[in-house]
Structure 1
Amino acid sequence: MAATAIQFKTNYAVSSKIEPFYKGGKVQINKDGTYMFCTCGTKVNVIDIGTGKVTKSIEQEDQEDITCFSVSPDDEILVTSSRALLLKQWDWKEKMCTRTWKAIHTSPVASMAFDSTSTLLATGGCDSTIKIWDVIKQYCTHNLKGSSGIVHLVEFHPDISRLQLFSSSMDYKVRLWNLNTSKCIVVLDAHYSAVTSLAFTSDGNTLVSSGRDKICTVWDLKTYKSQRTVPVYEFVGYNDEVLDVKFLGPTDTHIVVATNSPQLKVFELATLNCQILYGHTDTVLALDVFKQGTKFASCSKDKTIRIWKMNKETGEVNCVAQGLGHAHGVGIISCSRLKEGFIVSGSQDCTLKLWALTKSLRANSSEKITEPEVLRADLTEKVHDKDINSVVVSPNDKLIATGSQDKTAKLWSASDFSLVGVFRGHNRGIWSVQFSPMDQILATSSADGTVKLWGLQDFNCLKTFEGHDASVLKTIFVSRGTQLLTSGSDGLLKLWTIKTNECVITLDAHENKVWGLHCNKKDDLVVTGATDSCIIIWKDVTEIELAEEQAKQEEQILKHQELSNLLHEKKYVKALGLAISLDQPQTVLTVIKAILGESNGQERLESTMLKLRQDQKESVLKFCIMWNTNSKNCHEAQSIVQILLRNEAPEQLLQYNGIKAAVEGLIPYTERHFQRVNRLFQASMFLDYMWQNMRLTEKSSDSDMQAEEMELESFFPMDKAANGAKKAVIAPTHDCIQ
């Protein structure tokens, strides 16, 4: 395998995210069916039904949990109630609170609803009372008493002329109130659990009630009798703690998620449509998918394992087999890699079990199985002294590795569970074991914050990766076994290059333990799931970023060539504009120096600067701060500042983006340059003074020599002897002056 054929990954970016947008409570759809409203803690989320994405979040300023809400039928008003016993009226489209008033209830409001005219609002409280408010005139019109316990549902009859209100409370009964008399006129009794919603037919003569008993009851409002019942289906909006997540499907079009619940969820990535899989009776703890992607296995606290099969055409998933035999909860599971031959599971009872798949299970028949097959373990062995935290089958299906809370990892033969070797070296329990897809290497990650690579021949530690500040919960090989991707209990993901032991990048998007980590078949997507209820699809953006960087470099080269041409042609305005667009201070400085190098450089620079846009002037001013810190470039910086101060009004300069920071950055160095110039000026004045003194002294000496010559001539005749004597007298005097 040539090393040059491998493209190391450098980065992952969030491709999509499945976040909790609903934590139970009321759900309402607006009048034209484009938006859905639901509560999530301190927020009411507004979801675009077409895309399934949260478009707005209306959040309480006091950070109090929202207990209920209602949107008016005309789509104009949203009212929320909080545990602080306050009602807030919102313009939800602008996310603005327009009014706040006290609920009068003695305990939090549990339900509310508008009438069909959007003028009356009913609130049901935990204090067993119902109050009706005139939203326009802003006062309470009714106080209805007689409910049993918390009033968790109120609904006006759509025909306002009837003046009727329906409610339901803790006794599972639906009460009908006459608002003319403020009395309960009838009680509808058919549900065996809390009633969750009410709906009316268009003629107003039929009522449908749904409850947590998973049935809908149809009522005739003329006779107040139950007519029939229909099934109720669950709504998926909250994932709780994500314990495991895997890609699913022949081309990884789906993901299957274990969410601290007996039910599994299968999401179609393109649409986020969700299937809920029933079968386990206690929390599902782990998942694994066979290589073909159409079958997967799950294990649970209910001491069982299950095998599930996806229909390739419809995407429907059904349970095809169930394995019984563990004495305690089953915490980890792994499927065979080479063929769909067997499954290995590890339990809190410290035993490892191998389950062979029957021929019917291995067959790729598309027929729906009505009753799951019952599997019995073919091999059982106690393999550790403490909980088994991880198990994985080797790529050739011949070996099985286990990691335990007892700080060791062990290697087993898949044929008979005979011990092959033990890996010792971690200081705390091992959370994950993983075989390399290319080499005879095992990776282990531990609560001691390290990841280790082990040789399968001698069981020695080959490398240790240190960098996580918390337990490393999951490890997978990527880039054909040349890199590792790890997840920690602090919510961080780290990408490592094995050859250099280098942590290439740290990805921070989760807020808590990342238990789920899986790569797709193409090795270009990674899915993670954490206890923060978030599921994130990560995309390998190495090639994209590399292409972008190359394109950027090519663009820079072209722009620099263009800049050189513009300078050569002395098109200074375009040259300076292009240099500014490159966002390279040194390049802009080069252009300015070229302009100042002209015979009338200062004038040219001024005319060029005045032709720039304000945002371009702001950029040049920002660069001046940097240039001004260096005495070599301060002349250019001061020239720019001078031009701006001379040609821009103070009011206009104050509109510049970052003008305060620019002034604060320019003043200290400008003062320093001014002091330096003053010192140079003083030094030059001293030199001039010395030079003038020297010139005066020289002139004075010449005058004295002429006077001496005249005086000597009066005593000596003008012959050779006299001239010699004259020179003998004058010469020493001149030397002294020199």
Structure 2
Amino acid sequence: MTSALKEIYEKTGEYEAFYTGGGIQWTTDGGHFLCQCDDIIKVIDVNTLCNTLTIGETADEKDDSDQIYTFQMSHDNQTVVTVHKSGLLKLWDRETGQQQKVWRSGHKGAVAKLAFDANDANIASGGTDGNIRLWDINYHTCTSSLKGAMGVFTVLKYHPDISKQLIFGAADDTKIRSWDSKSGKEDLIYTGHFSKVTSLQFTPDNEYMISSGRDRVLILWKLGESKPIRVLPVYESIEATILMPPSFRIPNFKKKLDTEGIFVACAGEKGIIKIWNIQMSCLMFEQSNSLVSSSTEEGGLAITNLLFNTARNMISVVTADHNIIVHDLQTFTCMKQIIGFTDEILDIIFVGKDESHIVVATNSRDLKYYELGSMDCKLLKGHTDIVLALANFPTRPDMFVSSSKDNTVRLWAQVTNQEIKCFGVGARHTASVGSVFTSQLSDTFFTSVSQDNCLKIWTVPKEFDTVDQKIIPSYTELAHTMDINCVAVSPNDKIIATGSQDKTAKLWNDELALLGVLKGHRRGIWCVRFSPVDQVILTSSADSTLKLWSIADLSCLKTFEGHESSVLKVDFLSKGQQIVSSGADGLLKLWNIKSSECKMSLDNHDGKVWSMVVSKSEEQIITGGSDSKLVTLKDVSAERREKLAKEREEQIIQEQELMNLLHDKKLVKALKLALRMERPFHVLKIVNEVLKFGHEKLTETLKEINNTQKETLLKFAAEWNTNNKNCHAAQLVFNILAPEIISGNLKVPSLSNFIEGALPYTERHFERLTNLLQDLNFISYTVNCMQPHPVKSIDQN
């Protein structure tokens, strides 16, 4: 039985970046994150991960965006202030996203930090010029300018006790300064840090403050004293701190140790949260379940921010690669992982029997494991460099292989729906492993190709004794003279195909003996696939073409042209009768092999579409690309065919009904139906039929139809008016409906355009009829002149 061909895929979902670095804040109720994303701020629902609101984009700026440098949300979560590249400060309503006020910052350089006071009545802006300006929110006027600091502000904060009227700031000179927010005078300078100050926290009793820095220390200060009380070395660069609430209980520690003291959670370079009792100089807790990799560079950052939410009793870790990991404060278990920005999506595969999950390789060492329904994500750690390719086993949907720039391949298995573990590691390649492909009939082997120009076949162990067990290749072959981009295994596991930058594809048997070389592409080959039913192989290339080859005689059977740049991924559909392809031009195309015709072209991406995966049923396709977007597509061919069949059926029924009404001389009903069906010819036929009973009958008939139908009739009359044969009916319709248009009872959309279109033809008809009338009068006059006049007789005289 021939498989029904696909006709159209429709986009059903899109998962795109919402946090690309910069400012991030958590609403007081714990329901939303405000995330800086390029030139806007996206408000993300924590539970659904939906973008519920966009702040920072006005109608004037959609074409010419004004970059946001930083933002700050008020304590009551009602307003947001953004700082822009243009030097403007903008005030937004947090609930509606509407812009309320705009004013100039007055700083000589850019604004680096913002801070609201405890009452949300004033906001401070700290610039790169070393100055702080205080603004009255209601009047957006500058009330004070605070000077003394040098360089770019890294910390800016009002003291939470409004009665103290203090504002604190630290800039490049590493000193923490305090000013009187009313008088603008400098209050005190706190000297103790020797590197960039990154955070400042105040204790609930308003007597102490704690600061952190890149100089690897936490410092406890007593307000009003310029020298530190205690300097605590933490042996890593700290980027963020949180002051723990008094009721906090640290996991795995007895109550005696954590009943007294000031507890500070800090994180930065090492990617783990540590909680210190700063008064006792004691490390109380060190996170053991961190999902954040430590920084690879000395002094680099793994964690850029820590957020604490009292309402939910949760802590959020913001990582350097734009992930947000939410932990329960009491147990430090991971509650949710949110991927703010995936960077380039390099490969995607389905995992699990019901294909409810996908694994995505991005420009990262960590794999991302998504539950498709909710897009909940878990990070899979193992590789030490960027993961380049993925492949799953058709016979074991819970098992898959990954390859990476770290020169290794890894074998993973789905333990439960929530957990995936790495069971095997193969490390015999000497360069980046760019592609992997699995056995199609079993789970006993898989293949890999690398920039070391080698093709390897790996044997999968029957049993795994330990995690990360070593895997050894059973066959290795130097396959090409240049980088190998792709590999594929035939449906019967007998042939392996490779495609390379050397413009050729090669066929190998299961012991890596060369069977043949496919030559014909003008540039490197990006993807190879075997047909599921025929002895043919499909290749796609950087020369923008797809080629279909015979395995028997290695000849090129067909060439498909249509993409404008490199074709990166291809696959067979409809039992080998169709091809789906994705390219560097951002397009997804569907081809019919028999006719070489492109049936569909979808433009859902803004860059290269590196990855594409088709579900077993071919109902769903997921694509990912350089624009960091995951797009899900659904096959709606059957629904479309059903819809068209239903429309045709309804059309036939309506046409039959129309014929019956015309036959029974029910002209008013026939006219209404013809107008609803939008049949200008039938409407004209009905109007002419009514005119046989006189003009008055047409006037009465047109009174029976509603305004919508009259608008349609006018549109048809404008069409008839273009033809001399039908102008009489058209002019009568215009004449009857004109009074209603003039009185305003009938409103015609784009009336001026309608008149402009109808007037020239009307004038031409009038001129033609006038000339005809003149000609008829002239003929009548001539005939009258030719008649003999009666002559009077003589007798009558």
Quote the residue 1:112 is aligned against: 114
Structure 2 residue 188 is the aligned partner of structure 1 residue 188: no
Contact 1:451–1:466, Cα closer than 8 Å, also in 2: yes
Quote the residue 1:10 is aligned against: 7
Query: Could you list the per-position Cα deviations for residues 85-113 of structure 1 after superposition, in whole angstroms to 9, with x for gaps in the alignment?
Result: 21111235444322212223333223324
Quote the residue 1:491 is aligned against: 586
SS of aligned partner of 1:642: helix
Query: Could you list the per-position Cα deviations for residues 657-682 of structure 1 after superposition, in whole angstroms to 9, with x for gaps in the alignment?
Result: 22122112111222222222222222
Structure 2 residue 754 is the aligned partner of structure 1 residue 658: no
Structure 2 residue 506 is the aligned partner of structure 1 residue 410: yes
Quote the residue 2:726 is aligned against: 633
Quote the residue 2:710 is aligned against: 617
Q: How does 1:168-183 map to 2 (within 5 A)?
A: 182-183=187-188
TM-fit CA distance, 1:460: 1.0
Quote the residue 2:305 is aligned against: none
Whole-Å Cα distance in 2 between the matches of residues 656 and 613 of structure 1?
Answer: 13
SS of aligned partner of 2:717: helix
TM-fit CA distance, 1:266: 1.6
Letter in 2 for 1:18: Y
Question: Quick one: structure 1 residues 221 and 420, their matched pair in 2 at CA, closer, same or farther if it must change by over 3 Å?
Answer: closer
Letter in 2 for 1:195: E
Q: Give RMSD over aligned pairs.
A: 3.2
Structure 2 residue 696 is the aligned partner of structure 1 residue 673: no
Quote the residue 1:90 is aligned against: 92
Contact 2:569–2:582, Cα closer than 8 Å, also in 1: yes
Contact 1:173–1:188, Cα closer than 8 Å, also in 2: no
TM-fit CA distance, 1:686: 2.8
Question: Quick one: structure 1 residues 120 and 451, their matched pair in 2 at CA, closer, same or farther if it must change by over 3 Å?
Answer: same
SS of aligned partner of 1:243: strand
Structure 2 residue 75 is the aligned partner of structure 1 residue 73: yes
Structure 2 residue 349 is the aligned partner of structure 1 residue 305: no
Structure 2 residue 127 is the aligned partner of structure 1 residue 122: no
Letter in 1 for 2:98: M
TM-fit CA distance, 1:323: 1.0
TM-fit CA distance, 1:556: 2.2
Greater Cα shift, 79-88 or 98-107:
98-107
Query: Could you list the per-position Cα deviations for residues 597-625 of structure 1 after superposition, in whole angstroms to 9, with x for gaps in the alignment?
Result: 4x14x334334434544443333323333
TM-fit CA distance, 1:488: 1.4
Aligned residue among 537, 548, 554 for 1:442: 537
TM-fit CA distance, 1:149: 5.5
Structure number having the greater helix percentage: 1
Quote the residue 2:136 is aligned against: 134
Letter in 1 for 2:752: K
Question: Quick one: structure 1 residues 211 and 638, their matched pair in 2 at CA, closer, same or farther if it must change by over 3 Å?
Answer: farther
Aligned residue among 503, 513, 521 for 2:608: 513
Whole-Å Cα distance in 1 between the matches of residues 664 and 72 of structure 2?
Answer: 69
Letter in 2 for 1:684: L
- TM-score (norm: length of structure 2): 0.79
Quote the residue 1:56 is aligned against: 53
Contact 2:79–2:94, Cα closer than 8 Å, also in 1: yes
Letter in 1 for 2:549: W
Whole-Å Cα distance in 1 between the matches of residues 793 and 46 of structure 2?
Answer: 114
Question: Quick one: structure 1 residues 474 and 562, their matched pair in 2 at CA, closer, same or farther if it must change by over 3 Å?
Answer: same
Q: How does 1:211-610 map to 2 (within 5 A)?
A: 211=268, 213-216=270-273, 218=275, 228=285, 230=287, 232=317, 234-235=323-324, 236-291=339-394, 292-311=396-415, 313-361=416-464, 371-414=467-510, 416-567=511-662, 574-597=669-692, 599-600=693-694, 602-610=695-703
Quote the residue 2:202 is aligned against: none
Contact 1:473–1:514, Cα closer than 8 Å, also in 2: yes
Quote the residue 2:298 is aligned against: none
SS of aligned partner of 2:722: coil
Whole-Å Cα distance in 2 between the matches of residues 335 and 125 of structure 1?
Answer: 56
Contact 1:175–1:188, Cα closer than 8 Å, also in 2: no
Query: Could you list the per-position Cα deviations for residues 278-324 of structure 1 after superposition, in whole angstroms to 9, with x for gaps in the alignment?
Result: 2222221111111132111111111111122223x433222221110
Contact 2:240–2:267, Cα closer than 8 Å, also in 1: yes
- TM-score (norm: length of structure 1): 0.85
Letter in 2 for 1:275: K
Question: Quick one: structure 1 residues 75 and 674, their matched pair in 2 at CA, closer, same or farther if it must change by over 3 Å?
Answer: farther
Contact 1:614–1:656, Cα closer than 8 Å, also in 2: no
Whole-Å Cα distance in 2 between the matches of residues 318 and 302 of structure 1?
Answer: 18
Q: How does 1:133-152 map to 2 (within 5 A)?
A: 133-141=135-143, 143=145, 150-152=152-154
Whole-Å Cα distance in 2 between the matches of residues 299 and 175 of structure 1?
Answer: 51
Whole-Å Cα distance in 2 between the matches of residues 208 and 119 of structure 1?
Answer: 30
SS of aligned partner of 1:353: strand
The gaps in structure 2 that reach 5 residues or longer are 191-208, 213-217, 219-233, 249-261, 291-316, 325-338
SS of aligned partner of 1:648: helix
SS of aligned partner of 2:724: coil
Letter in 2 for 1:286: A
Whole-Å Cα distance in 1 between the matches of residues 143 and 589 of structure 2?
Answer: 60
SS of aligned partner of 2:618: coil
Whole-Å Cα distance in 2 between the matches of residues 238 and 675 of structure 1?
Answer: 69
Whole-Å Cα distance in 2 between the matches of residues 57 and 263 of structure 1?
Answer: 29
Quote the residue 2:224 is aligned against: none
SS of aligned partner of 2:713: helix
SS of aligned partner of 1:110: strand
SS of aligned partner of 1:523: coil
Query: Could you list the per-position Cα deviations for residues 551-570 of structure 1 after superposition, in whole angstroms to 9, with x for gaps in the alignment?
Result: 22222233334444555666
Whole-Å Cα distance in 2 between the matches of residues 595 and 127 of structure 1?
Answer: 84
Structure 2 residue 142 is the aligned partner of structure 1 residue 39: no
Question: Quick one: structure 1 residues 282 and 154, their matched pair in 2 at CA, closer, same or farther if it must change by over 3 Å?
Answer: same
Max radius of gyration: which structure? 1
Contact 1:567–1:575, Cα closer than 8 Å, also in 2: yes
Whole-Å Cα distance in 2 between the matches of residues 475 and 429 of structure 1?
Answer: 15
Letter in 1 for 2:772: L
Whole-Å Cα distance in 2 between the matches of residues 173 and 324 of structure 1?
Answer: 50
SS of aligned partner of 2:631: strand
Contact 1:332–1:391, Cα closer than 8 Å, also in 2: yes
The gaps in structure 1 that reach 5 residues or longer are 362-368, 712-738
Whole-Å Cα distance in 1 between the matches of residues 381 and 127 of structure 2?
Answer: 35
Whole-Å Cα distance in 1 between the matches of residues 617 and 663 of structure 2?
Answer: 51
Query: Could you list the per-position Cα deviations for residues 465-492 of structure 1 after superposition, in whole angstroms to 9, with x for gaps in the alignment?
Result: 1222222111100111110011111111
Quote the residue 2:331 is aligned against: none
